[in-house]
Chains A and B, each alone.
Chain A
Amino acid sequence: MDFKLTEEQELIRKNMREFCEKYVDPIAAEIDEQARFPKEVFEKLGAGDWMGIPVPTKYGGAGSSYLTHIVAVEELSRSCAASGFTLSIHVGIVEMLLLLYGTEDQKQKYLPPLARGEELGAFVLTEPGAGTDVMAAQTEITRDGDDYVINGTKTFTSNGPNAGVYIVFGWTDKSAGRKGMSAFIVPKGTPGMRVGEHFQKMGIRASQTSEMIFENCRIPKDNLLGKEGDGLAIAMTGLDHGRIGIAAQSVGILQAALDESIKYSKQRIQFGAPISRNQAIAWMIADMATDLAAARFLTYHAAWLKDEGKPFSREASMAKLFAAEAAMKHTIKAVQIQGGYGYCKGAKVERLMRDAKITEIYEGTSEAQRMVISGSLLR
């Protein structure tokens, strides 16, 4: 058994930390407040090959492992959970799906600009009536000669307003049930696709989320990702990968909560001593550090399984479930440790607590993860 990252991965983590200290920490509170997507940060991430770590170099990526990408997501999330999530969905879902299901032509066309960070990716699955219940989707995609035509309304699309490449799911044959959905690559600017309502969110406010509306959106058949009928399997594979990213995002949030809690509790004096001297506070920190370690191991293990080519769907769900719930639980404690100061804007823990909540919801709620895990055990 080997619990070590490689020297390269350690250096990459350190470089990401330095990147964050220089470019992300100074603006993290402001982009949260203004709900602004930090384009300038992502341009720099693109230039430093952070936007395509597991993508082979021939498609413009860095040619490293999924675990390396996960370490980058964790470290970025520690400074800005919204940006960590943007990186996760871009690489972990969109690029991975293109790599796994794309034709050679599709990979050559779409991966390089994504890997260089010139375009952002979006994963367009959820609908107003179809969240956890993906099969309740209404979007219809009909064949018309050499084209397909998409009609439907999608919601909660991360990067919706600012992506360049959208992977869109809908029914090509509703009567075929689980084999009736298909996935398509829709580039930005395709007539018939437009951005609907923008959502104002509690947390990860520096990530843009919107509706996506498709009205007779016509795309050539070359944009079919995988085969007709593969849509549901593609969506689930995307989520399996993405969930490790959300787990990493949660680990980053937890690490930040721990850092803040240690720092604050050693400085804050009440009753003539630092509050960290109270067992009540010290034990909160002990529990936080313990869950952080557990969450990190689950996350890295899931990524390692993926890199080893082994099945990892259940482990990805376990990592996401545990890390997300730990992030929520302990960011509440981190606010508690800072008392009234922690409840006010300007305290990082206030943002961490709001950001943590989403990790229990997207890419499958905690309930959905429990369904996946128990389903795989009780089959």
Chain B
Amino acid sequence: MLHIIACCKWVIDEVYIKRGRGEEIDFSSVDWKISDYDRHALEEAVRIKDSLGGKVTVLTVGAENAVKGMKDMLSRGADEGCLIKDESFARLDPAVTADIIAHAVKSRLSPYDLIFFGDGSSDLYARQVGPRVAAKLGISCLTGVRKIAFKDGYVEAERSLEREIEIVQAPLPVAITVLPEINTPRIPGVKDTLLASRKPVLNLSSCDFPDYTVPAVRTVAIKAVRLDRGCVFFENNAGGISSLVEELKKKGILS
């Protein structure tokens, strides 16, 4: 029986982020969502379970509000949850998140066959957690995956590279980070949402991770930038091109 773990991040839904005064960002009326690519990761885990049998555990690391996120995740076909929450986990850097996940998987969720991640998160898109977890667990990691097939004892995956599709094989257990084209995530029905809170959840907090690494990255500030368009038009002739070059030099874009 397969044990599939899907890792999902509960993030601010960017459509609600507004510009405040000056360089400030207004987070006052934001709503949260499952990070976009992670929804595909969870969907893939559930589809594999539905076709091959097994169990899906959805795992998230976050702050207090991740409780709601866990309900959302469980409404999408996962069987169990692993909720690792702590106020200090609100803005973790990817290295620390990976430490925590790897520790939880090793100590609480083993044995496992597959761990799914989104290729990158909607907020940071650092694309680190998947590969780092795999490294810590000492398993292979297939990134940028857009299709998966099961063969005897191993998986075959299509990876989307810049110019080509690479077909790779890896033995289980394996970590896989997925691209959105891998599937279309379901929209949970009403019952799925109502039943989510009845599914078993393993609750962990910072006390369960006595020696997770100190963050390597410290967020000093988050600022809004404004992109001002110059709307300067140049003639489509030799004169126009040289004035374009002049203009770009003036702005320090060309030297």
- B68 to A10, Cβ gap below 8 A? yes
A47 to B67 CA separation, bound complex (whole angstroms): 27
Distance (whole angstroms) from the CB of A60 to the closest CB of chain B: 10
CB of B241 within 8 Å of the partner chain: no
Q: How far is the CA of A49 from the CA of B188 in the complex (A)?
A: 10
Q: Which residues of A contact B33 (CB under 8 A)?
A: 14
CA distance A63 to B189 in the complex (A): 13
- CB within 8 Å of A: which of B167-208? 187-194, 196-197
Report Cα–Cα, A15/B67, bound state, in Å: 17
Q: Is A62's beta carbon under 8 Å from chain B? A: yes
How many of chain A's residues touch chain B, expressed as a range? 20 to 34
B194 near A64 (CB under 8 angstroms)? yes
How far does the Cβ of A171 sit from chain B's closest Cβ, in whole Å?
39
Please provide the chain A residues from 1 to 43 with a CB less than 8 Å away from any CB of chain B in the complex.
Answer: 7-8, 10-12, 14-15, 18-19, 22
B68 nearest in chain A by CB position: A7
Any B CB within 8 A of the CB of A335: no
Contacts of B67 in A (CB 8 A): 7
Docked complex Cα distance between A19 and B193 (Å): 14
* Pairwise interchain contact A62-B187, C-beta atoms closer than 8 A: no
A53 interface hit (Cβ, 8 Å): yes
Q: How far is the CA of A57 from the CA of B190 in the complex (A)?
A: 11
Known: A8-B197, A62-B194. A18 touches B71 (CB 8 A): no
Whether A7 and B191, one on each chain, are in contact in the complex, defined by CB atoms closer than 8 angstroms, is no
Considering only CB atoms and an 8 Å cut-off, how many residues of chain B contact the other chain?
17
> Most A CB atoms within 10 A — which of B190, B193, B197?
B190
B75, CB-defined interface residue at 8 Å: yes
Least CB distance from B110 to A in Å reads: 30
Q: How far is the CB of B188 from chain A (nearest CB, A)?
A: 5
A48 at the interface (CB under 8 A from B): yes
Asked if B72 CB lies within 8 Å of chain A CBs, one says: yes
Q: Are B68 and A11 in contact (CB under 8 A)?
A: yes
Interface of B is mostly: helix
Q: Is A207 an interface residue (CB 8 A)?
A: no
Contact call B191/A62, Cβ cutoff below 8 A: yes
Q: A7-B68, A7-B71 are in contact. Are A12 and B193 (CB under 8 A)?
A: yes
In the complex, whether A359 has a CB less than 8 A from a CB of chain B is no
The residue that B187 contacts in the complex, of A18, A53, A68, A72, with Cβ under 8 A, is: A18
Residues of chain B within 8 A of A53, CB atoms compared: 190
> Nearest chain-A residue to B65 (Cβ)?
A7
Q: Is A50 in the interface zone, CB < 8 Å from B?
A: yes
Which residues does chain B contribute within 8 Å of A19, judged by CB atoms?
187
Q: Report the separation of the CA atoms of residues A367 and B234 in the bound assembly, to the nearest whole angstrom.
A: 64
B197, A48: Cβ atoms closer than 8 Å:
no
Report the minimum CB–CB distance from A95 to chain B (whole Å).
Answer: 14
What are some 25 contacts across the A-B interface (CB < 8 A)?
A7-B68, A8-B194, A10-B68, A11-B68, A11-B71, A11-B72, A11-B75, A12-B193, A15-B187, A15-B188, A15-B189, A15-B190, A15-B193, A48-B190, A49-B191, A50-B189, A50-B190, A53-B190, A57-B191, A62-B189, A62-B190, A62-B194, A63-B191, A64-B190, A68-B190
Interface residues of A (CB under 8 A from B): 7-8, 10-12, 14-15, 18-19, 22, 47-50, 53, 57, 62-64, 68, 72
Measured CB to CB, the residues of B under 8 A from A are 31, 33, 67-68, 71-72, 75, 187-194, 196-197
In the complex, besides A7-B68, A11-B75, 5 extra interface pairs with C-beta distance below 8 angstroms are: A8-B194, A15-B189, A18-B187, A64-B190, A68-B190
